[in-house]
Amino acid sequence: MTDDQTKATLSTQSVEEAAKNPKNLGEMEGADAVGTVGRSDCGDMLRIWVKFKEEGGRKVIDRATFQTFGCQTAIAVASVATEMIRGKTAAEAISMSGEELSSPLGPLPPMKIHCAQLVEDALRSALDSASSMTDARIPLSGQTGPTLADQITPSSGKVKITLLPKAPTA
């Protein structure tokens, strides 16, 4: 087995393990920020909830959770990413690339890189407004948006899904 094959095998095993035992899965009551994205090229959707706390005079991420309609790689990347951003400011978390957010899993196969980009985009969606907020402007606990399932369940006979542009292919 070559070094590349060994890395690919270890990455696949890491993804499978993270997907079988995801951390921070589910909705979060009282989230301070929520971001939802979807991809037309693969059909995946992801929502991330973020809760902040004051630590050392800085507003940092206390906890993040997620829900996804996606493959095991999307689940795995979201799981490790929600762990990685804990303790970071919104600006620090936004600056992380999909590659950084998925790095604990090892290199992703080229056809799964979009999963890391999906997580990056959902995180940016949640935190873009939060990174520029002052303490007074961060939403109060208890204010939550609809769940991911609520958002795609038609209440009026229509469903609105906002899809991101197709990821560029190399």
Q: Say whether 42 is catalytic.
A: yes
Choosing from 45, 96, 115, 118, which is the catalytic residue?
A: 115
Catalytic residue among 8, 25, 42, 133: 42
For this structure, is 71 an active site residue? Answer: no
Q: For 18-50, give the DSSP string.
A: HHHS-SSBS--TT-SEEEEEEBTTT--EEEEEE
Quick check: helix, strand or coil at residue 53? strand
Contact 39, 111 (CB under 8 A): no
Please, which residues have CB within 8 angstroms of residue 141's CB and are 6 or more apart in sequence?
30, 32, 51
Is residue 74 within 8 A of residue 44, CB to CB? The reply is: yes
Q: Which residues are catalytic?
A: 42, 115
